[in-house]
Homo-oligomer: A and B are copies of this chain.
Amino acid sequence: MSGVTFEIIGRDGAARTGKLWLGRGAVRTPAFMPVGTSGTVKAMFPGDVHAAGADIILGNTYHLMLRPGAERLDRLGGLHKFMNWPHPILTDSGGFQVMSLAGLRKLSEEGVRFRSHINGSYHMLTPEKSMEIQHLIGSDIHMALDQCIAWPAPEDEVELAMELSVRWASRSKSAFRALEGRAQFGIVQGGTYARLRHRSADSLVDMGFDGLAIGGLAVGEGQELMLQTIENTIPHLPDNKPRYLMGVGTPEDIVEAVWRGIDMFDCVMPTRSGRHGQAFTHQGRINLKNACHAEDESPLDPMGNSSFSAVPRAYLHHLFRSGEILGSMYLSAANISYYQDLMETLRKGISEGCLAQTVTKIKCDWREGEAKNKAI
């Protein structure tokens, strides 16, 4: 049984728009999932995340298993109740952060043993353990455990990692605690090698996951190679299941990937950049720390429709120059609002069959805005 339904409502070329029906609500696709690393979308009240238009957020299994801990989260009623987010949550497998954050990693067929970056305690992450933790967290979409390797890597190493990921995906599938309204996604690996992506996709599709993710991209290979890999992979994914491009990305990356048939995204960029004074707007990127904004009374994003878009740039400049938390609060919220606006615009473009014009307009606004900002 599949616990979830994916309904495609409209198409334009390879792009699709639809709804993924989960137990806790529907996710409008293409969807951008704000990242709620440690049980909080950083510097945002959950109500503002939802008001921005986010139907679903992502939680990091690695962070949550270390703090507050999966068993504690379970005793406290699960992550949704804990962080006051009653809407859908997708959890990653923990594998990516184990490879990027943890100390002293030891990889084996069984899984990966590592030390916490917080207190040095030892942990073992296996496909079964990852599924158990995601169950205790109570998330709505569980990701299979995969092996993430660094880029660039030689083809034979990428092949070994991909094959291990396929075996782990199979074990993840067996260990998944299926519940009505809960989904599990497999993750296609294989670096930038079309042959490996093809083999990985075929193996995972056969396992019958509710959705397929493309992992191991946006790790330094550049947009061209990333898009090429997406194009090489998508023909091997089922049309009737959601496709999730993990860890992507910039607004530019998202637009291009939606064109090519991707349905879901997550990225820390809007919140992390927001905390560092970088805004994403309808008129392109703005670095609020730049001296040119010191007396710039124009609203952050004149074409934006959230209250956060209306904050004057001069004030944001002051907040970032002064190291004030309110700067991070305003800009994280404004960036998440912009990302959600962008997704809504893309969904509309697809359902109205005018995605080409929509994308042209989006890119034109970016270009004109950035030229104007440079001229200040």
- Interface on A for B, CB 8 Å cutoff? 38-40, 42-45, 67-68, 72, 75-77, 82-84, 275, 294-295, 297, 311-312, 314-315, 318-319, 321-322, 324-326, 328-329
Can you list 23 A-B pairs, Cβ within 8 angstroms, ordered by A? A38-B318, A38-B324, A39-B319, A39-B322, A40-B324, A42-B324, A43-B325, A44-B326, A67-B318, A67-B322, A68-B318, A68-B321, A72-B294, A75-B295, A76-B295, A76-B297, A76-B314, A82-B314, A82-B318, A83-B315, A84-B315, A325-B325, A329-B329
Q: Which residues of B contact A311 (CB under 8 A)?
A: 84
Residue of B nearest to A321 (CB): B67
Give the shortest distance, in Å, between A212 (CB) and chain B (any CB).
Answer: 32
Q: A67-B321, A84-B311 are in contact. Are A326 and B72 (CB under 8 A)?
A: no
Tell me how many chains of this kind the complex includes: 2
Q: Which residues of B contact A312 (CB under 8 A)?
A: 76, 82
Residue of B nearest to A311 (CB): B84
Residue of B nearest to A39 (CB): B318
* A51 and B325 alpha carbons, distance in the complex (Å): 19
Q: Which residues of B contact A314 (CB under 8 A)?
A: 68, 76, 82
Residue of B nearest to A319 (CB): B40
Give the shortest distance, in Å, between A253 (CB) and chain B (any CB).
Answer: 26
Residue among B45, B82, B315, B328 making CB contact with A315, cutoff 8 Å? B82
- Known: A67-B318, A68-B318, A72-B294; 12 extra A-B contacts, CB below 8 A, are A39-B319, A39-B322, A42-B325, A43-B326, A45-B329, A67-B321, A76-B295, A82-B314, A82-B315, A325-B325, A325-B329, A329-B329
